[in-house]
């Protein structure tokens, strides 16, 4: 296992902008935490209700059958199996339906055949679900089809879906942001963070259109910071932490690896995630990371060119 360490967690005095970004993320996490938990509990309950999920799947299957051109061959096949009475596939479709804004918007008033009591019950639940969404921090602060304003393009970068999501993102923000701030200044960190977040969101929307499922988290912004660092120091050995699962001295510790390797590993993980996961199961989230990385690469390469034009021989640590 190899993790980038760079300069480690730098002090506030050396990287005030990075720490400020962490502080904003933490503040929003604290402010939204109770709402987040309460809303998630309600949503979990809805999705544990087999009656709701299987009926949602049945209606989604019928919707797909009626609007075949809008859906992938995979979804059409799945819907065809579901409408012939396969309960398991109906449940699966019921879970996937959450990502399809057209179905969720038109479904409650759509003239589905079959059990009309179930249709009305489901439509009521969807309306309740939307009310919950209206107060859910991920939906209010995140970027989705109902929240596409300029505020959300920025705010989504500071909201997290849970404690672990927050911790991991902040650790990497401190490592890459702190390192970049020490060597290139806080303004660059701030611009790359916000800019990569915006580009990441744009990539996310371009990949599959705006969805009802919101985009949240600092991952795209941090991917941008990482990419800038890796491009600027792509041949230079940067400090990494390694542990090779051998509990003896010498098989864990720090090594210096070219930053290009870190970028390669990070990019490979996102490419594999993007191409290897079904869109219907959330594969498009990796698109935001890739967008952030692309913007970071452009910024890093531009800085390299500028430095070269100025006549600097090499960027070293």
Q: Which helix (H) or strand (E) holds 303?
A: helix 285-310
Closest CA to 132 of 82, 159, 98, 91: 98
218 touches 157 (CB < 8 A): yes
Choice between 16 and 237, CB closer to another protein: 237
- Residues within window 1-60 making contact with another protein, judged by CB under 8 A: 1-2, 51, 58
Q: Residue from 68, 116, 128, 302 that binds another protein (CB under 8 A)?
A: 116
Alpha helices by DSSP H, 14-86: 16-48, 50-66, 73-83
Q: Residue 83 interacts with another protein (CB under 8 A)?
A: yes
Among 132, 277, 298, 307, binds another protein (CB under 8 A): 277
Grouping H, G, I as helix, E, B as strand and the rest as coil, residue 4 is strand
Residue 315: CB partners within 8 Å, gap ≥ 6? Answer: 232, 233, 236, 304, 307
Cβ-in-10-Å burial (0-12, 13-18, 19+) of 165 comes to: middle
Taking the complex as a whole, how short is the minimal distance between the CB of residue 202 and another protein, in angstroms? 23
Window of 14-22, 108-116, 183-191, 229-237 that interacts with another protein by CB under 8 A: 108-116
Burial class (CB in 10 A: 0-12, 13-18, 19+), 246: exposed
Q: How many residues does the chain have?
A: 317
Instruction: Tell me whether residue 127 or residue 312 sits nearer to another protein (CB atom).
Output: 127
68 belongs to the binding site for another protein (CB under 8 A): no
- Relative orientation angle of helices 73-83 and 50-66, to the nearest 10 degrees: 120
- The CA R_g of the chain, rounded to the nearest whole Å, is 23
What part of residues 129-168 is at the interface with another protein (CB under 8 A)? none
Which residues in 197-256 contact another protein (CB under 8 A)? 242, 244-246, 248, 251, 255
Binding residue for another protein, selected from 14, 31, 70, 114, defined by CB under 8 A: 114
Q: Is 287 a residue that touches another protein (CB under 8 A)? A: no
* Minimum CB distance to another protein, residue 265 (Å): 6
Q: Which is nearer to another protein, 73 or 311 (CB)?
A: 73
Nearer to another protein, 62 or 146 (CB): 62
Other CB atoms within 10 Å distance of the CB of residue 155 = 19
Instruction: Identify which range of 134-142, 173-181, 264-272, 305-313 contacts another protein by CB under 8 A.
Output: 264-272
Q: What are the Cα distances from residue 171, in Å, to 11, 76, 114?
A: 13, 42, 51
Distance (Å, whole) CA 1 – CA 21: 28
Nearer to another protein, 160 or 286 (CB): 286
The residue among 135 and 256 lying less far from another protein, judged by its C-beta, is: 256
Stretch that binds another protein, among 29-37, 40-48, 270-278, 293-301 (CB under 8 A): 270-278
Residue number, 69 or 275, with CB nearest to another protein: 275
Q: How many CB atoms lie within 10 A of CB 116?
A: 10
- Contact footprint for another protein (CB under 8 A): 1-2, 51, 58, 74, 77-78, 81, 83-85, 87, 89, 92, 113-118, 120-121, 242, 244-246, 248, 251, 255, 261, 264-265, 268-269, 271-278, 281, 283
């Amino acid at each position: 296992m190899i993790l980038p360490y760079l300069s480690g967690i730098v002090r506030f005095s050396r990287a005030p902008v990075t720490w400020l970004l962490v502080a904003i993320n933490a503040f929003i996490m604290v402010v939204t935490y109770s709402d987040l938990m309460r809303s998630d509990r309600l949503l979990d309950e809805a999705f544990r209700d087999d009656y709701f999920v299987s009926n949602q799947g049945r209606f989604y299957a019928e919707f797909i059958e009626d609007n075949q051109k809008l859906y992938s061959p995979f979804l059409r096949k799945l819907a065809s199996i579901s409408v012939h009475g396969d309960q398991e596939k109906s449940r699966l479709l019921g879970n996937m339906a959450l990502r399809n804004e057209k179905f969720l918007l038109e479904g409650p008033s759509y003239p589905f055949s079959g059990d009309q009591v179930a249709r009305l019950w489901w439509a009521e639940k969807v309306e309740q679900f939307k009310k919950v969404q209206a107060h859910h921090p991920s939906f209010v602060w995140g970027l989705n089809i109902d929240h596409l304003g300029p505020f959300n393009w920025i705010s989504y970068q500071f909201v997290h879906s849970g404690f672990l999501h927050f911790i991991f993102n902040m650790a990497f923000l401190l490592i890459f942001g702190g390192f970049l701030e020490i060597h290139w200044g806080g303004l660059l960190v701030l611009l790359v963070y916000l800019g990569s977040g915006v580009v990441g969101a744009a990539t996310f929307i371009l990949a599959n259109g705006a969805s009802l499922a919101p985009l949240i988290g600092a991952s795209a912004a941090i991917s941008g910071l990482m990419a800038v660092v890796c491009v600027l120091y792509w041949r230079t050995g940067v400090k990494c932490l390694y542990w090779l699962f051998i509990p003896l001295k010498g098989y864990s510790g720090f090594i210096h690896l070219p930053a290009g390797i870190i970028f390669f590993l990070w990019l490979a993980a996102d490419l594999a995630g993007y191409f290897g996961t079904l869109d219907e199961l959330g594969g498009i989230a990796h698109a935001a990371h890739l967008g952030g990385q692309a913007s970071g690469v452009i910024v890093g390469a531009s800085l390299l060119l500028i430095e070269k034009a100025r006549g600097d021989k090499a960027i070293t640590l």
